[in-house]
Amino acid sequence: MDCIHIHGGKPLEGEAAVQGSKNGALVLVTATVLIKGQTVLHNCPQITDMDEMFGLLKALGCQVKREASTVIIDASSLHTSDCPAKQVRAMRSSVMLLGPLLGRCGSVSMERPGGCMIGKRPVDIHETALTCMGVRFQKDEKRIRAETEGLKGAEICLPFPSVGATENVLMAAVLAEGTTTLYNAAQEPEITQLCHFLNEAGAKITGIGTNCLMVRGVGKLHPVTFTVMPDRIVAGTYLLAGAATRGIVTVKNAPVRQLTSLLDVLRKMGAMVRYEENAIVLDAVRAGKPVPYLRTAVYPGFPTDLQSMLTAVLTRAEGSSAIEETIFEDRFKIVRELQKMGADLKVENNRKLRIYGVSKLYPARLTACELRGGAALVIAALMAEGESEIRGCDYIRRGYEDICRDLRLLGADVEEKRE
C-alpha cells in the first residue's frame, strides 16, 4: 500500500505539463474495436485505468502494444464479445464497450457494472437508446447480455445528456444501416474528440460540438493515427492546487478553451489568469474570496470532476460558499476527511454542501476512497502546515500518471512512500 506524504503550508510556484486525457483516451481505445487493423494513439496517459482497458481488449483477442505514451491497437483478431469480469469490475468505463462490440460482433456480454463511491451509475439511458437501434437486452441483475440482428439507424432523444450513453450510441451508429440522429447528446470535449476520431477513420458524423449529432452509417472504418487531447481535469487539478496555496503556477499544454468555467470561478475568487504560448499562468496570491453559490453542470458548465477539489480550496476562503452537485448523487465523500483537518462544512442533502471558510487547515492522516476525491485530499494537504499522509493512492493512480512528480514541479514538498 503506497502513501503520499505532503509537507504543506507554502504557496506553490512552478510549472507542470498536462498528460493526455483519461476520459478522452479510454473511449478512443474502446472505439478501436470497430476497426480491423492497427490504430495508433499518441499521448495516451500512463494510468491504471488504461492498463485495465488494455487488459480487457486483449482478453477479447485484440493485440495491444504500448511504447511510452503511444499505444498501437490491432483489433483484427478480436474473437469474442464476452467481457471478462475482472476488468469490468475494476472499471466502470468498460460499459463503453457496449456500442463498439454490438457494432463489431452484433452481441456483447459483461457483468453489470456496479455502482461506485460517487453514485449508483445505472446504464438505463444506454440500454433505452441502443434498443431503439435494434438491440435486444436480456434482463438480468448480474449481467448485461445484448444482441442484434443488425444495428439500424434511429432517431434517439436522450432523457439526460449522458456522456457514456452518447459515446455508446455514436459507436453503435457508425456502422449501422441508415442514419442515426441523436438529440440531447452530451457535448463534453471527449465527445467532440471521439467524433473527429471516428470521422478520420471513415465515419460520417455531422453536428459535431452541438447537442444534435447525425451519423450516416458506413460499411467499414479504416485504421487511423490519432493524438489524444490533454486532460482538462488534470489541468484543473493543478490550477486548483495553485489556488489552494495562493501561489503562482504555470500549467503547460492545458486545453484552455475547455476550462472556461473553472477559470471564471478562479477569477471571481480573486486570481489573475493569463495565457502564454500553450499554457495557462495562474496568479492566485489574492485568491481568497468565497464562492457564494456554484452548481456543477454538464459541459460547458462547471465539471463535476472538479467539484471535490474546489471544495477543498474553499475550506479556507474568507467567507462561506455553497456548492450544488447536480450530476452524481454521492459526491461529497471527502467532507469527513476535510473535517479531520479542521474544515467547517455542512452537507445539507446529498446534492448541496455549505463551506464555511476557516483561517487554517491542520495536517492529518487521510484516506482517499475514489479518484477525484483523492486528488482533492492532496490539494487540502498542500494547504495544511505540517506533514499530512494520504492513503488510497491506487485510486489517484487511476487518473493521474504521477501526481507527486507534477506537484514537485509546481514546488510542492511531496513524496510517495511504500508502507
Element (H, E) at 72: strand 70-74
116 noted as active-site residue: yes
Please, what is the minimum distance in Å from the beta carbon of residue 166 to ligand EPZ?
Answer: 8
The three grid cell numbers given for residue 116, joined into one nine-digit string: 461506485
The residues, ordered by sequence, that sit 6+ positions from 164 with a Cβ below 8 Å of its Cβ are: 93, 95, 96, 123, 126
Please tell me whether residue 4 binds ligand EPZ under the rule CB under 6 A: no
Q: Bridge partners of 146?
A: 108, 137
Please, what is the minimum distance in Å from the beta carbon of residue 23 to ligand EPZ?
Answer: 3
Please, what is the minimum distance in Å from the beta carbon of residue 91 to ligand EPZ?
Answer: 8
Name the residue among 382, 408, 410 with its Cα closest to residue 250.
410
Rounded Cα distance, 14 and 335, in Å: 29
Please tell me whether residue 94 binds ligand EPZ under the rule CB under 6 A: no
SS (H, E, C) 142-172: CEEEEEECCCECCEEECCCCCHHHHHHHHHH
CB atoms within 10 A of CB 21: 27
Please tell me whether residue 165 binds ligand EPZ under the rule CB under 6 A: yes
Please tell me whether residue 232 binds ligand EPZ under the rule CB under 6 A: no
Site for ligand EPZ in 10-39 (CB under 6 A): 22-23, 26
Q: Which residue has the cell 464497450?
A: 97
Rounded Cα distance, 220 and 229, in Å: 25
Residue 357 Cα to chain centre, angstroms:
28
Please tell me whether residue 310 binds ligand EPZ under the rule CB under 6 A: no
Part of the chain binding ligand EPZ (CB under 6 A), chosen from 122-130, 217-225, 278-286, 380-388: 122-130
The site map against ligand EPZ for 354-373 (x = CB under 6 A) is -----------------xx-
Part of the chain binding ligand EPZ (CB under 6 A), chosen from 5-13, 123-131, 138-146, 403-411: 123-131
The three grid cell numbers given for residue 298, joined into one nine-digit string: 454538464
Please tell me whether residue 394 binds ligand EPZ under the rule CB under 6 A: no
Element (H, E) at 103: helix 98-105
DSSP annotation of 1 reads -
Active-site position among 116, 132, 195, 393: 116
Part of the chain binding ligand EPZ (CB under 6 A), chosen from 155-163, 174-182, 222-230, 275-283: 155-163
Q: Is the Cβ of residue 192 or residue 250 nearer to ligand EPZ in the bound state?
A: 192
Q: Is the Cβ of residue 40 or residue 297 nearer to ligand EPZ in the bound state?
A: 297
- Compute the CA torsion angle 163, 109, 148, 186 (nearest 10 deg): 0
Name the residue among 98, 104, 174 with its Cα closest to residue 137.
98
The three grid cell numbers given for residue 159, joined into one nine-digit string: 432523457
Q: Is the Cβ of residue 35 or residue 376 nearer to ligand EPZ in the bound state?
A: 376
Q: Is the Cβ of residue 67 or residue 140 nearer to ligand EPZ in the bound state?
A: 140
Q: Which residue has the cell 456548492?
A: 323
Please, what is the minimum distance in Å from the beta carbon of residue 174 to ligand EPZ?
Answer: 18
In the set 19, 30, 81, 93, which binds ligand EPZ (CB under 6 A)? 93
Part of the chain binding ligand EPZ (CB under 6 A), chosen from 50-58, 97-105, 163-171, 389-397: 163-171
Residue closest to ligand EPZ when measured from CB atoms: 164
Q: Which of 269-281 are b and which e, b meaning 16 or more Cβ less than 10 Å from the residue's Cβ?
A: bbbebeeeeebbb
Please tell me whether residue 126 binds ligand EPZ under the rule CB under 6 A: yes
The three grid cell numbers given for residue 256, joined into one nine-digit string: 484552455
Please tell me whether residue 183 binds ligand EPZ under the rule CB under 6 A: no
CA distances (Å), 93 to each of 53, 87, 144, 222, 322, in order? 9, 10, 14, 24, 30
Please tell me whether residue 163 binds ligand EPZ under the rule CB under 6 A: yes
The three grid cell numbers given for residue 248, joined into one nine-digit string: 503562482
In the set 14, 119, 300, 342, which binds ligand EPZ (CB under 6 A)? 119
In the set 67, 86, 124, 415, which binds ligand EPZ (CB under 6 A)? 124
Please tell me whether residue 258 binds ligand EPZ under the rule CB under 6 A: no
Catalytic residues: 116
> Rule CB under 6 A: which residues touch ligand EPZ?
22-23, 26, 93, 119, 121-126, 160, 162-165, 188, 304-305, 327-328, 371-372, 399
